[in-house]
Amino acid sequence: MNIFTIFAFIICSFNLIYTLSVNLGIIHSQDVDPLNPTVLKRVDRYYMRQGKSPQVDFIETIVTDILSANSTLCELTAEGIIGLIGPTYQTLAPILQSICANLEIPYVEYTWKPSGEPQNMTINFFPESNLMAKGFAALVASMNWKSFTVLYETTESLAKLRDVLKINVPRELPMIFKQIHPDEDYRVVFKQIKNYTENTIIIDCELDRVIPILQQAKEVGMLEYHNKYFLANLDAHTLDFSDLSTTANITTISLLNTTLPILRHATKDWSDGRKSRIKPEEVKVEQAILHDAAYFFMRRYYELRVVDREVGFTPESLLCDKKNILQHGFRMYHYMLSKSEELGESLTAPIRFDASGRRIDFNLYGVEIIEGKKEVIVDWNPSMGDEVNFRRNFTQQLQAAVENLRKVKVIVAARLGAPYVLKKTSENGDNATVEGFAYDLIKEIADDMNFTFEFKLYDEYGKYNPATKTWNGLIKALLDRSAHLAICDLTITEARRSVVDFTLPFMNLDICRRQHLASKTQRCR
């Protein structure tokens, strides 16, 4: 009888421990993404499938202003929570941080915030802003642009892009920063940029304005083969660019590598019970980081509970107007800071924090978009400094360039001059209007790479007019983008080199000048 009594007591005690739960508070701002609650449910399901104890219950609420944030948090602390995940509205953060610091409750953020004094008991899963700025600059620098125009909406945009100003580009070339506004006619802006003969553009704006801006760029001829765009919005990879029908080179930046199996598994789980399937390419950074914050918190709490049995299961009721603290809150906070996340269930791994709760380890991915297709071509991590990791080798980069070249007719600017370019006099069955060495060279390259071309003739090589600050001839054709390339016996001068790129000379005339010096050496020019 005693044996059965003891056995029954053990079973009951086990069930009691297993079914005990603690609360994790989650406060959303009014514009919370509809998918966020689904993301949290997925974390909860995964945690329970692992048989973790105690059970962690999410208590989700929505607040609209500072007063409601204050009262809501005090209600949560009175009920008993082991931590709080805060909203994305930065205006609500100070009051929530203050209350959590006073009560020694770990406070978790998952949104961008400017660099400043670290806040006690606060952990931000969004990468530290100074490191993000370095990552942006490293990815832009990897493109080897000689100059560019930056179109931005807010001061936050400038903060993200401030290190771009430090990129080592030729100082005589323009680096233009221009603020744009939601109701603006962007075609006027792009016409101005086109007059600058600029074709490399960085855009940082709200996600819902990216496609309309690019559409208006297309309307004024600024979304062609030679145009290059870098989109700084971290969710730009979720957009559908196929309707633009463009050959322009568009690169987005993201904290997510959408090809990873872990993200495919997560979105499959999120899709359960929904009418439409969620694709990995549709996951926004906010959703991924919220997932990681909740998972990381729950996992570390469980680990600490295993390490130290004094970390109790019973929710502690704390009052905002009393001098009381969460018994193990301070220890929980520092335990989370001491741990990193490399793999596991994290969607934005690697994750690591400094002693002040700022995230200092993450990956940034450069995603190239051509004709709607997306591919990660480069990545960066804070440990790399100014370097990046290219995902393509030289052969792959060349192949991608050739495939893009085949989508357009290449316009070749030239000037009549024997033996390079002459008016055609013989009939050989093609539609060419010129002949000569330069024509034969381009034709051989085109046949080898399988692209089409057309020669256009100009009267001048290219002279600069200081009064009008404009070029004429072949140089003007290149700057105006009315030609893709120029070929002729053109002298390479410093002025021309500063505005267009030159290949290696395709012909060496071996003209030499002999000087009778003491050493009797022959010098060739």
- What pLDDT does residue 343 have? 53
Left, alpha or beta for 13 (phi > 0: left; psi -120 to 50: alpha)? Answer: alpha
Contacts of 222 (CB under 8 A, 6+ apart): 190, 193, 194, 199, 201
pLDDT of res. 395: 82
Q: Using DSSP, state whether 123 is helix, strand or coil.
A: strand
- Strand-strand pairing, 373-380 and 364-370: antiparallel
Q: Which residue has the tokens 């680096």?
A: 175
Q: The tokens of 343 are what?
A: 């793999």
Helices 210-219/186-195 angle, 10° precision:
50
For 147-274, list the strands marked E by DSSP: 148-152, 175-179, 200-204, 228-231, 249-254
**pLDDT (0 to 100) of residue 298:** 87
**What is the distance between the alpha carbons of residues 378 and 389, in angstroms, rounded to a whole number?**
5
Query: Which tokens go with 69?
Result: 């944030």
What's the pLDDT score for residue 10? 39
Question: Which structure tokens are listed for 489?
Answer: 């016996």
Query: pLDDT tens digits for the chain (525 residues)?
Result: 454 444 343 334 444 344 467 899 999 988 888 888 888 887 877 666 666 666 778 899 999 899 999 999 999 999 999 999 999 888 999 999 999 999 999 999 999 988 888 889 999 999 999 999 999 999 999 998 878 899 999 988 888 888 988 876 555 556 788 999 998 999 999 998 887 767 899 999 999 999 999 999 999 999 988 899 999 999 999 999 999 988 899 999 999 999 889 899 889 988 886 778 899 999 999 999 999 999 999 888 888 888 877 766 567 899 999 999 998 899 999 999 998 876 567 899 999 999 999 999 999 999 999 777 889 999 999 999 999 999 988 787 778 778 878 888 999 999 999 999 999 876 665 667 899 999 999 999 999 999 999 999 999 999 999 988 889 999 999 988 889 999 988 888 988 988 888 887 766 655 544 444 454 444 443
81 CB-contact burial (10 Å; exposed 0-12 / middle 13-18 / buried 19+): buried
At residue 228, φ and ψ (nearest 5 deg) are -130, 130
Taking CA atoms, 505 is separated from 143, 462, 487, 489, 497, in Å, by 24, 17, 10, 9, 13
Please give the pLDDT value at position 17: 42
Peptide bond into 419 cis (omega under 30): yes
Q: Which residue has the tokens 């016996």?
A: 489
In whole angstroms, what is the distance from residue 397 CA to residue 390 CA?
10
Instruction: Pull the structure tokens for residue 85.
Output: 């995940």
Amino acid code (one letter) for 328: H
The sign of the torsion formed by the CA atoms of 118, 122, 123, 127 equals negative
Q: Are 358 and 299 in contact (CB under 8 A)?
A: no
Asked if residue 160 lies in contact with residue 137, where contact means CB atoms within 8 angstroms, the answer is: no
Identify which of 403, 400, 300 has the alpha carbon closest to the alpha carbon of residue 351.
300
CB < 8 Å & 24+ apart, contacts of 415-420: 415/457, 415/458, 415/459, 415/460, 415/461, 415/473, 415/474, 415/488, 416/457, 417/488, 417/489, 420/487, 420/488, 420/489
Rounded CA separation 485/505 (Å): 14
Q: List, in sequence order, every residue forming a beta bridge with 21; answer none if it has no partner.
A: 55
Strand order in the sheet with 409-414: 452-457, 409-414, 485-486
User: Cis omega before residue 212 (within 30°)?
Assistant: no
Q: pTM of the full predicted structure?
A: 0.82
| Closest by Cα among 354, 344, 350, 353 to 364 | 350
Q: What is the CA radius of gyration of the chain?
A: 31
The Cα–Cα gap between 100 and 318 comes to: 11
348 close to 256: Cβ distance less than 8 angstroms: yes
Residue-range domains of the chain with CATH? 2-103+261-347 (3.40.50.2300), 131-255+365-392 (3.40.50.2300), 408-512 (3.40.190.10)
